[in-house]
Structure 1
Amino acid sequence: MPVNVVADFPFNDLELNSYTGAFKMTVCPVLENSVRVILSCLSFDAYFQETVNERREEQYRIRRCKVYFYPEDDTIQVVEPRLADTGIPQGTIIRRHRIAKPPPEDHLFYTVDDFNVGNEFTAYGKKFRLVSCDPFTANFLRKLGVRLGEPEPIPDDPYMVHRKAVESMQPLRPYERIDKLRQFLDHDRHVLRFFCFWDDTESLYGDPREMVLHYFLADDTIEIREVIPANSGRDSAPCFLRRQKLPRGVPQIPLPGTITDRTLLNVFGHPQRGGRYILDSLKIGAYKEDIYTDRDLTIGASLNVYGRKFLLCDCDEFTKEYYRVKYGLTDFTPVKPNIPETRIPVVRENPPYNGWGSEEDSLANCKSLIPVAPKADFMKFMTKDKQGLESFILRFYAQLITDIPVDKDRVFVINCFLSDDTFSVYEPPRRNSGFKGGLFLERGRVKKPNAERFGVDPPDYYSPSDLYVGAEVIFNSFKFLVLDADEYAYKYMEEHSAEFPYSNIKKIHDKLRPFVKERCEELNAFGKNQDPDETGTFGFQQLECLIYQLTGPQHALNKQELLTLGRYHADRPLTEIQHGTLLGLVQQALRRHAFEDFGSLLQVCRRADPEKTGEIEREVLRRICKSNRVPVPDDMLDTLMDFSSTQSGTIRYEPFINQLNWRCEHVGAVPTVPCDYTGNLEVDWLPTTKGESPKSLGPSYIPQSEKIGRVRYQSLFDELCGVDNRCS
C-alpha cells in the first residue's frame, strides 16, 4: 500500500498518557480491518487424483496437499507433504501467484469467493477438491457471510494401501535385541559383588581357594578375581577369569555364520535383479546362548565356571539392596563352606631390642629393609590434640617419695598428654627450698618399672588411666605419690569415666550399696549427729569417716573415689558474674597492656564477613582476637562472648569490639573483684611444659577436699538406700 494512501485514513484525536507523557494515536476500524486482511492466510486441506498408466498395482493415485490462499493479493500456493520412498517430486507443487480460471473464464482470476469446503478449482490441468480447513479460515469465511460446507474424508490411495499391506508382513523389530544403550545408561558402574569359594582339594596339590565374583549389570558380563592370602606360594594374578559372558556349561565352537543378527529364509534371485528374501520371524534358526544372569546369582547357589564348581557364600550391601528391590529377597544369610583346617597359624616372634633408638623404632626397622619411622596413632592425635580451649592435658599434683630428708618436701606437677600418652614432670620453684625448679622430666613415654631392658615383647608404658589421686608411679626410678589434680583433670576423668574407672560415680555407688543394706537408721543417726544445725550438709572429713565406718579399712574407697563421690554430692552455690563487672575486668586488662588497636580488629572482622551481615562465628572471632594478640585470658574472652552471642550462635562484631574500647566506652573497675580474676580459676587451658606452673597447682594451691567444702548427705543416702527407703 502506498504511503500517501495511509495518510488519507482518518484517525481519532490524540490522547495524552498521564503516566508516560506520550501521545496515544488510535487507528480507525477501517484501517484496522485492512491490516488484518493483509496478515491473514487461508489454509485448506485438499487432494487431486492422478492417473497412472501400465501398472498392475495401481491405476490412479490420490495425492494429498495443502492449499494456501492469501486475501491481500488473491494469490494461491499448493504444497504437497513429503512422503518417504514415493519416487515422485513433492513439496511446493504450485508457487504463490494469481491463477486464472479455466476457459471460457480464463480472463478472470480466482478470488476468495471461489474457496469453500466442498468446492473444486482447476490449476494447470489438476483438479483440486477442498475437503476441510483450519479454524482461522472457517472463522474468516463466516465473517464474510459464507456458509461453510461439511468436511469430507480424503479417499484412500490404492498404492499406499498396497504398500502398507506389504510392510505389515515385515517384522517390526530386529531378530535379536541389538541396541543395549538403555541398559548401559541405567546400570553403568553398577556391579554386583559376591564372595565365592572353589574347593580344589581333589586335584593334585590343590587347596581351597577364595574368589570374588563381579557381575556387571551394564552388559551382563562376569569377572572373577582370586583372593590370595599372604605366604600362599601363589603368584598374584590380576584376574582369574577375564570379564565375559559366562555360559552355563562348556559351549561348543559355533560354525561360521551361526551367530547373526537376522536369519534370512527362501533367498532366491539376484539382489540387483529384483531378488526376494523373507526374515525368519519365528526364530527357527536362532543361536541361543545360555549364559548366567543376575537371577541365577543367589547366596548358596553353585556356578559352573568352565568345569569348576564355585559356591556363592556372601555378597556386599549394594548387592543385597539390589536383590531386595528387584526380586524382593530378604534372606541373605551367609553360607559357610566346609573348609578343612589345614593351615597352621604363623606365630611371629619379634627380635629382641638392639639398643638403637626406641623399642618401636627398632622393631619397625626389623620389619622392613628400608628404615621407616614407627606409625603413630593419627586418629588419636587428631581427636585429642589441643582444640581451641580444650587442651587435653591432665595435670596432677605429686610428691616425691624418698628416704633422703632434703627431697621429702619436694612437690611436682605431672602433665599427661592425651594425644600420645606422653608425660612430663615439672617442679614449681619454691623460695628458700634449695632447688631451682623447672623441668624435671622431658615429655615422652614412660616405661613401667621392672620391664625387661632387651626383651622380645614390647614394654609396658604408663597410660592416663594409671594416674589418679592416691596412686604411686615410678618415673625413671623416681617414685611419686599423686596427691591431687586440677579442675580440668577432674572434669575430664568424670566425663570419660569409661577410661577412668575411679571417676565413675555409678561404679562407686554400686560398690557402696552392699554395705548399706538395712543400715538406713545408722546413716540417719550419723547425719543428724554431724549436722546439728540441720543444714542438710556435713564436711568432707565426715564423709570420709562415714565411708570407713561402712566399708572398713579393707574395703575402703581410694582417695580418687572419695573425691569423686564428694564432688558429685558437693553443696556448691551457683556463682554468677555480672556483665558490667566482667566488662570492667576486660577493659582493665586491656588498659594494663596498653592495647588500643581496635580499628584493626574491626577491619579484620569486616573482611571475614563478605556478605556484610554484621555477624561472624564465635571461632572466627576468637581466632581474630588471638591473631591480633588481644591480652585477654581465654576463659574471660569466652564468657564475654557468651554475653554477646545471638540466638543463632553468631556474634555481632561491631558492638562486641566497641564495648572493649576502654577509651570511648569506659567502665569503672569493681573493687570487690580481684584484678587477676578469670571466669574459671580452676581450669588451666594452656599446656605447660616450661615456665611458670599452672595457677590451680601453683603457690595458691588449694586441695580438692577443701574446695568441695560441704557435702549434701541426703542426696547420698537417697542414691545408696533408694528414694522409697529415704532416711527421715
Structure 2
Amino acid sequence: MALPFLPGNSFNPNLGKEKFHKEHHFDFKNEVPMNTGDDKKYKPNHSTIPRGTGHMAPAWVAFDKQVLQFHCYYKEAVVERSSENFRVHVCRLYFYLEDDTIQIVANSTNNSGIPQGTIVKRSRISRPPPNDYTFFTVEDFNVGNEVEIYGKVFKLCDCDQFTRNFIRKLGVRIGDPCEIPDDPYSKHRQQETEAMQPLRPYERIDKLGQYLEHSSHVLRFYLLWDDTSNLFGDMREFILHYFLADDEVEIKEVIPENAGRDALPMFLNKCKLPKLVGGLPLPGQEAARTVLNVFGPMGKGGRYILDSLKTGALKQEYYTDADLSVGSIMNVWGRKMLICDCDEFTKQYYKTKYGTEFKKITVDRPRFPVPEREVPPYNGFGSYEDSLGNCDSLLPKPPRRDFMKFMEKDRNGLECNTLRFAACLLTKSKIDKDRRFVVSCFLADDTISVFEPLRHNSGIEPGKFMERARQEKPGQDKFSSKTPDFYTAIDLAVGQKITLQDFPFYLVDADEYTYNYMEKHSSQWPQSNIDMVLYKLKGVLGEKSKEEAHAAFKAKDAKGTGSLSFELFRDTVSAQTGGMLTEAEIITMARYYGSKASFGIPTDILRAAVQESLRKANFEQFEDLRKALKLRDSERTGKLHAADVRKSCLAMHIRIPVDLLSHFISRLADSAGIVDYMQFLQEINWRDYPVPISCNIPSVLRFDAEWLGASQDEVVKFVNYETILGDLFRG
C-alpha cells in the first residue's frame, strides 16, 4: 500500500548528497564536442581506435575523407502479390570514421518503380533495443555480419580494399565474402524481356541505340554554291550540320556584311536529305508504316495489321555519313554544292571510322572591287575632322586627339617642346623685306603660330601675326572631299621655304633649344645628323682630293689659323659644293666643328643700368637692405648665396627689372655662387658711389646676344675647317 503524500511520509532526495551544482551535459569525447549528460540511459560512445605514434590529432582531422564501404543487401517481404514472396535490395553501406556516421545507398534498377538512391541519410544510428542508448561503432561492421538498422537487417557481403586494410590494422580478422542472392522477380522480368519480339521485325537498324550513342554528335561541313551562271547569282557559303543520332541534315547560310540578303535562320531545316530529287510522291508512299486491315470497333478495342514487307512503299535513298567527303558535290534539292572543308571533330570521326583524312579545298572566288565612299567636299565651317564627323554619324562626336602624343610632347617644366624659328617674308616689297617674324611649331599637336616682334620706327604694329592652328601646305584644293596635308615639325628647318596662308616665309635661324632638339632627334631631321652631312659632303665633292679642298679653304684663311669665320666658311662650302648643301646642313657642321663666340655686356654698363633704375625710383634705403642681408648671414661671414641676395632685394621691393637684377648678381658671384653683399651694396649705391656712363644704356642692352637670353656657348664665331677635312678624308 502506498503512503499518502503528507508531511512525514515522503523522503528527501537530497539526503546524503554532497554536490548541489548544475549537471554537466557537454564535454569532448574522442576530440569531438557532444552531449555527455548523467542520464544512464543515454551513454553515447565512439569507436575505439588505437593511437599511433607521433602528434595526436582529433578524429575529424585524422580520419577526414576516410570512409569504409560495404556491399550489403536486405530482404523485403511482399504479401500483396502472388507472383513474388520477397524482394532483394542490393545496397552500399558507408561508415564515416571521422564522426561514426552511417549512410546507406541502394543500387538503381531500371523500371523498378521503387524509390532508390539514398535510403538512409548520413547520421549516427543507435543500436537496436535493448541497447538503443548506444550507437554503432566500427567494431560492429565486418564482412559476414548482420546489422539491424531501422527495422531492416542488412547482410554485409563484401567490402573494398581500403576497408579490408583498415579493419586488418585494427587487429580484426576479415570474414569471408558471400554472394548476394538473386531477386526472383527481377530474374523473371529479365527472362520476359529477353523473350519479347519487336513490333517491326523488318527494321534492321537499331534507331534507339543509334540515338543513345550519338545523341550529341554533329558533323560540320563547309559548303560552297556557285550560282554565277544565273542572273545576279554569286558564290555563296553554307554550313552543313549532319546529326549522327538520326541521320538528318540542316544547312545554314553564311551571310557576309552588307550582302543585301535577308538573314534567314535556316537555308534548309533539319530533315533527311534525298540524293535524287523527283516529282512529288503519291499519298501514302512515304508513310513509315502501312496498315493492311482494320477490324473490330473503332477506337478502343480495335485491331489492325501492319505490312511488314512494306509493299508498294517508295524506295528513296538519303544522304548518310558515308556519302559525305571533302571535295564531293552534294545535290541539295537541285543545287550543286561543293564540300570544301570540315571541322576537327569531323576529321577525327572519319579518320577513326573510315580511315580517311580530309584536306581543305581552296576555291578562287571572284573579287569585286569595293567602291570607295564618296565624302562631300569641305564646306569651310570648322575643321576638316568636324565636317567629316557629320558624314560618319547622325550624332557627330568631337574629333579624337592623339592623347598619347599630347601627354608626351606637351610642355613639362623647362622642356617646352616648341620649335622656334626666325623668319622673313619672301616678297618684292621694300617695307615687308625688313620685317622679321618668329615661327613657333608646337610638337604636341603640330600647330604653328607666327609672331612679329617690335621694331622701332617701322610703322608696323607688333604682336600676333597668325593664330595658332594647323597650317595647310600650298597647292591643294581647300574645298575638296580629301583631307589636305598639313605642315608638321619635320617639314621645318633652317633654310626651308614655307607658305602659310599665302604668305611665303624663309626660315633664317632658330633658337638653341630647336637646334639641340633636332640634333637629339636626328633620325627625323637628317640635316642635323653630322654623319649624314659629312657623307653627303664627301659625295658632293666627288673626286676632289684633300689637298684641293684644303687649298680652297686656305685661300680664305688670311692668318693661316686653320679656322674661318662662319660667314666665310658658309660662302666657301657653298662655292665648293655648288649649293648642294642646305643652310641647315652647313649650320650643323659649324656647330659641331666651330668655336663659340666670347661676348658679354661690360660690368660697368650693367652697374650703371642698375643705378639708373634705382635713381629713377628714388631708392635710398641702403641701410635697411644691409640689415636684411646681415639678418640672413647667420654666421657673420659677410657673404651670401646669390639666391639669398636676390630674395632680400625682392623683399625690399627694389624697382629693378628681375632679369637685370639676376644678371648683375651673377656677375658678382664666384664659381660657387657666393656673393660679397657689402660689395654688392657699394656697387648699387647710386648716391655715394655713382658710375658716370655716357652711352645709351637701353640700346646697348637691347642688341646684346647674352642679354637676349642666349648663353655664351650658343653663338659660333669660328669654324675649324682642318678638322672637318681630316674627318672627311679619313682612311
Task: Answer 1 or 2: higher relative contact order, Cα 8 Å, separation at least 6.
Answer: 1
- TM-score when scaled to structure 2? 0.47
